[in-house]
Structure 1
């Protein structure tokens, strides 16, 4: 995350002076930004905060002059895949075995082996 913070901009959601969510917008190519490191405090899951963060990221990217916003998530991240598509992202590719190549430990989520990075994109 430290390298992302040096290259991108971090946004924080607060409630009563408590950080409840964060995300980073990371420029990747001309006119393109990637939404990375989205996180919501576990006790705040299911309250629509993730959706608000994603929609804020889309609006911020557009106002900042980007033409495309991208995001990636694991094949096993069914909730995130649902959220991103609901917020207007479209699946544009699959980076096969991404998590196998880049993470030493095996990842399981929702009873599914997380192997592939699902890439999504949205024109702004």
Structure 2
């Protein structure tokens, strides 16, 4: 399994986005001591992502693709939530996928896709 690492700058914003909006589970958090950067693992279905406040672990603006069954159903669930900072759209591609891309508060992108 490959685990991507996304750079974040605020764990509260990350938690609001990944857990509260996208429905990811926070598996664990690590912080060497108070007032130091935090490192978090989140998961959703077959996706596992590490989120880091540590400078040098990753660059903001990364992008990943996550294969997901029923992307349209997931899109509908997200559309019903009152999250002010994201309103993802859907698209049917010429390469026979249905895709929904979300951008986190740190400009990292996740494209959820389903092959048709």
Normalising by structure 2, report the TM-score.
0.31
- Larger helix proportion of the pair: 1
Normalising by structure 1, report the TM-score.
0.30
- Larger strand proportion of the pair: 1
